[in-house]
Amino acid sequence: MAAIYFSLCVILGIASTINGRPRTEDERVMIDEFLPALLDRLQNNPEYAFLLDSDSPPRSNRQQNSPVQQQENWPQNNLKLGQVAGVAVDNNGDVLVFHRGDRAWGARSFDYNNELSQVEQNKGPIRNATILRLNKNGTVIQRLGANRFFMPHGLTVDKKGNLWVTDVGLHQVIKIPVDPTDAGLVLGEAMKPGSDNEHFCKPTDVAVASNGHFFVSDGYCNGRIMKFTKDGMLIKTWGKPTNNPVEFSADDELFIPHSITLIEESNLVAVADREHGRIQLFTAGITDPNDTGRFVKSISNSRFGKVFAISYDPTDKMLYVVNGPTGSNKVEGFTVDLDGKIRDTWTPRNMNFDEPHDVAVSPDGHQVYVAEIRPNRITKFNK
């Protein structure tokens, strides 16, 4: 206990001395790297419970206590992936993976106008297959998307098996039909970001309703949600971009809407407001098209940090959430009810998440998949 108490005193001392000035690199490393481990030790040991906020929910991310358990030796050990940006599961239980091959999103990938840099454009589209279909055993059974994409991001599969992807380099939303007679759909002008009704700017994700209407989170620049008919006609746009802290942001001001999922039985669309660390719920207009985009409620918790991805499971009426590295918050998965209570937390067995980027729940509710961009991997959990 003495070691824990001393460590807390050191960190709190540093925090007090840096108030009003930037942290030095040594201070940043100490706080951002050492504090998460310390807090995890505190929160997982009842001996130190008196040091914690009594309102903080208990941690249950230890694998032996969580109903969400990693399936080991999945997928194939020889599966080579780039940054895994998106993951989805179809009605057959097949897993779709959207990865970036030999490309990586870095500080120089885009210019100040949010256009893909000329260096990246000159590389041409990614040559290898960016979409992989895996069966439940983790064996690749189909490869798609070679020589087509520049910077893959979101991936969704609808109830008919059509794939919907976003490419932040192309600034496009693309439907890849399962039916070869379907012409598919491409929205947005290739390589041209914009904020009008015909353009996107780094769109992040798509959610498709049972009636074919779909929602796009758009995204890194525009901070908005767009709803379309199944044929791609715009129905409604809402949301405003901001980089203000969440305390100074309105309910419809979004700081990178990074992931989107539907809660159809409640007529809701849920948006991962990434940098604000919250999940914003709006009316989806499924039962009443005139009631679309109205703010309903916000789900937030100090343990989230940044909310990178969300997926709703109608079988247990839970949201499955992954956060990302934020310094003081442990990177983990959360099971959250619609009242905003954390019901469970989970991580891979014998290791941690590093940089989760997407999460998907199988239609039968039995599996959860997490995609990461560092290390480049896909992890399967059973529940």
| Annotation: binding site for Zn(2+) | 153, 258, 357
Distance in angstroms (rounded) separating the CA atoms of residues 200 and 209:
20
The runs of H, that is alpha helices, within 187-268 are: none
Structure tokens at 207: 């959610």
Binding-site annotation, residues for Ca(2+): 87, 155, 358
Binding-site annotation, residues for a protein: 100, 220, 274
Residue 316: phi and psi, rounded to 5, are: -120, 5
Question: Which contiguous run of DSSP H or E holds residue 119?
Answer: helix 118-122
Sheet holding 292-300, edge to edge: 257-263, 268-273, 278-284, 292-300
Handedness of CA 175, 269, 367, 347 (dihedral sign): positive
Residue 44: phi and psi, rounded to 5, are: -105, 5
Between the two ends of the chain, the Cα-to-Cα distance in Å is 35
Distance in angstroms (rounded) separating the CA atoms of residues 338 and 17:
40
Binding-site annotation, residues: 87, 100, 153, 155, 220, 258, 274, 357-358
